Amino acid sequence: MASGATGQWVGWDLNVAFWIDGVWMRLVPRPGWLAWIAAEQAFVVRNGSAWDLVGEPVDVSDAVFSLVNDSDPTKKALFSLSGITTGTTRTFALPNTSSELAILAGTQTFSGNKTFSGSLTASGAVSITGTLSASGTVTVSAAAASIGTAITAATYGMPRTAVATVATPTLATTGLAASIRRWRVTSAATANAAAEERSAGWVCWRGNADGLGGWNYVNRLSLTTLQVTGMGFFGLSGSVAALATTLTLSTVVNCIGIGFQRGTHANWQLVHNDGTGAPTLIDLGASFPVASLTNVLTLYIAATPNGADIGVRLVEEVSGAAVEFTITTDMPAATQLLSPRNYMNNGATAAAVAYDCAGVYLETDY
């Protein structure tokens, strides 16, 4: 009976009228009764005070709703909505794929390729062994981040190998060198130890025919820890193998760059060699002292395709001092393949050496 019944049905509101043996019987519905409404073609169930359509969405308290594993009922999943703002409804749409749920707290491992839309921020360490696709900003605030095999210092395009410890110093406002975003490579604190980065593959060459070869190379660096012995070389090298930890500047060959030998050079040297004999060394002057740990050097090396010379420019960014050279002799051969190299060693001193690098960039036409 509907509400507001009249006539002989007065008082039968929301009760069931049952015709039996020629008379109508009044049945008071009880919770759990199931009925079929022919006119509406729908089942209803009594909840104690009203009839609810069966199959229609109903609110279930998170205090009583849980999922249990079919084979092991001791495994349960509970859901809490306490974090939702009062009066707010949240909607969760399942993607058209089978996958695992992303958990924001704690540690979680994702397998396969994942695509994130918007900004992704991580306050812990992030290790990515698959493909990370992000249409927004990806921010990682961690002591170390691993993307593929690159640790801390990101690598794009050039395969990179590091020898020694690589870290990311905290930025400071005490000077230009300390305020630059950079990575630091530190040798072991044993004698004849090296701090080195190199490309594990060839990157450029001068070229031996029209349209072949040529490059533009930029490296920004600063020294952070020196010892009384040891040496350094930064530039392009005709080798992709690890250099000897006992290397001296006078034996660096097939190269173009800058370097120094502790105990011999007070100033940085321009270094170039064609693969034979000792390298040519040119003192860059008092504006480029080796022992200054606050200077920031930007090294430019350029060669036109199939060119007969190599251009070098070095800028000390703090003072603004700059020098330029055009090298036409004692330089890598036209067909010599080259790769970037950052290298320091400590010689016979059993203490660490270290340098900072803000980036190595190399561009070729092809």
| Predicted local confidence at residue 117, as pLDDT | 64
Largest CA-CA distance found in the chain, in angstroms, rounded:
123
Instruction: Give CA–CA dist 23/42, Å, rounded.
Output: 26
Stretch 208-216: mean pLDDT: 95
Determine contact, residues 340/219, Cβ cutoff 8 Å: yes
Instruction: Say what percent of the chain tops pLDDT 70.
Output: 83
The CA distances from residue 83 to 77, 105, 310, 352, in Å, are: 17, 14, 64, 51
Reported as a single tens digit per residue, the pLDDT across 275-320 is: 999 999 999 999 999 999 999 999 999 999 999 999 999 999 999 9
Phi and psi torsions of 136, nearest 5°:
-115, -145
- Residue that is written with structure tokens 């749920």 in the block: 101
Stretch 189-202: mean pLDDT: 93
Run of H or E residues at 178? helix 176-179
The CA distances from residue 44 to 36, 50, 52, 142, in Å, are: 6, 10, 5, 57
Reported as a single tens digit per residue, the pLDDT across 92-123 is: 887 787 777 766 666 666 666 666 666 666 66
pTM for the full predicted model: 0.61
Average pLDDT taken over every residue of the chain: 87
Stretch 84-88: mean pLDDT: 93
What domains sit in the chain, N to C, each tagged with a CATH number?
A: 1-93 (no CATH), 112-148 (no CATH), 159-363 (2.60.120.200)
| Predicted local confidence at residue 192, as pLDDT | 96
Residues, the chain: 366
